[in-house]
Structures are given as C-alpha cells and as structure tokens.
Amino acid sequence: MVGPMRPQFVLFGSSIVEFSCSNEGWGAVLADIYARKADILLRGYAGWTSRHALRILDQVFPLDAALQPSLVIVYFGGNDSMHPHPSGFGTHVPLPEYIENMRKIATHLKKLSEKTRIIFLSAPPVSKEKISEIYSDTLAELRTIESCRIYSEACLALCQEMDVKGIDLWTALQKKDGWETDCLTDGIHLSAEGSKIVVEEIMNVLREADWEPSLHWKSMPTEFEQVLSIPQLSPDFKTVVSIFKASYCRYSQWDRF
C-alpha cells in the first residue's frame, strides 16, 4: 500500500475502458486532470459484456473492502449489442438480459458505500464503413449503429429509473462533424478526439452533480499542497508564483470544465 490514501475513481468496462490509457485516451486524461487529487484505477476487459462483468463483480468490488471507491464509471453495452452470430458464438446479450445485468451492477455498486458515486456510459455509435474496411463485412453486419442506439437508450432509461448518472455517448460523438473518421480508430474504438468528448461529458457531470463532497477536480484538495511552496518565475518570467500554481498550466484546456 502506498500512502497517503486518495479518493479512488474506478473505470470498469470492456475495451473502451481497457484501451483508455492508450493514445491520449480518456482514462489517461482523467489521471492527468486528477493528479494529486484522486487515483484513477483501470478495470477494463476487452471483449467483455455485462454478462462477464456479473461473474467477477464481487471480486472487483468486494462489499467488505476497507476503502471503497468514491466514483465508479461503468461501460458495457457495445459488445452486448452485437447481433447473434449464426454459429451461436459471439458476444450478443439479449436486450432484456443486458438491462437486468446493468441493474444488478448498479445495485451492487450502490451497496459499496453511501459516498460511492456512479456514472454509466452508454454504447457509442460505430462506423459500418470503417469496420468493413479494417475488419470484415461480416462484423459490420453484426455490430451496427442501430443496435448500439437501442442498447444506449436502454442503458440511459435504466439510469433514470435507478437515479444513476448516465452519459449518452451515442449522441455526444455524433454531434461532431466527421465523427466516423475523427472519433473512432477502427469504427469501434475511440480515437484521441473521441476520448476528449468522453472526458468533456464526464467533467460536465462531475461539475453539475449535487454530490457532497464534490468530485469535480477544482473542488478537491491537492495532496501536500503546502509542503512545497518554493517560489519560481511564471512562464512569462514577469511574476513570481508557487510551484503548485505553475503546475496548473497543464490543465488550461480543462479550465472551462
């Protein structure tokens, strides 16, 4: 164990989570924004569905853990939404089962702690053209933008029912012109630009949520803020600032969030 203990933000999901620390992914961006404020813990499992998640839920989030996460961001749905393969193999999870699985995940997470907050990410859109180009026409027929919409809407409806914060990635990504090429690397997974949109949506939720304590980065204490207060010149060499304040130059693009 490494101290001091910080709030824990857990990212739990399939490849959208596992790959979130690569190529300027949204997990890496969150870790940067929350440096000295919270620990970002990755629990991502490529290829998984909500069905897989239920099987290990108690191991990832034990109810008797001494320290429970302050925030859990969950993403499952893209793999679930794939159409059944004629062979019987594949990741398809029927919509009613998906909804029930996500309900069980939310119920379990709510039991962790009164202070554990939850955000569900809905299934983002996919690009049929890019999937066909990079993978195959068969995969493009199995994983469609319409099926993603259906599972996205089901996830968001469940969030409203269970009083869980939900982020509509299916809509958010498509607001950007050229989203199919700019926001996705292979028609399925997020590019740096796509991850930026995810971070913006998460930061909006954290800023607007009526949570006590607030989990927005500007509201959280900075670890050992007063220990090192050596003054130094500002980047323009005109004023003297502390090292702590100077370090915030890297957050400039997120100041509006």
Give percent of the chain with pLDDT exceeding 70: 87
Strand-pair category, 240-242 with 231-233: antiparallel
- 189 catalytically annotated: yes
> What's the mean per-residue pLDDT of the chain?
91
- Check residue 59 and give its pLDDT: 98
Separation in Å, CA 181 to CA 92, 109, 190:
26, 35, 10
Residues β-bridged to residue 135:
none
Both tokens assigned to 133: 């180009």
pLDDT value at 244 more than 60: no
- Cα separation, 230 vs 112, in Å, equals 40
Strands (E), the chain: 8-13, 39-44, 71-75, 117-121, 165-167, 231-233, 240-242
pLDDT value at 131 more than 70: yes
Q: Specify the length of the chain in residues.
A: 257
Residues 6+ away with beta carbon under 8 Å from 134: 186, 187
Catalytic, out of 14, 20, 122, 127: 14
Catalytic, out of 32, 39, 182, 186: 186
- Check residue 233 and give its pLDDT: 55
- Check residue 87 and give its pLDDT: 78
pLDDT value at 205 more than 60: yes
Amino acid residing at 151: Y
- Cα separation, 166 vs 76, in Å, equals 12
Tally of CA atoms within 13 A in the half-sphere of 223 that contains its CB: 11
pLDDT value at 144 more than 70: yes
pLDDT band at 134 (very low <50, low <70, confident <90, very high): very high
- Check residue 224 and give its pLDDT: 84
Question: Which carries the bigger pLDDT value, residue 85 or residue 131?
Answer: 131
Both tokens assigned to 48: 């998984």
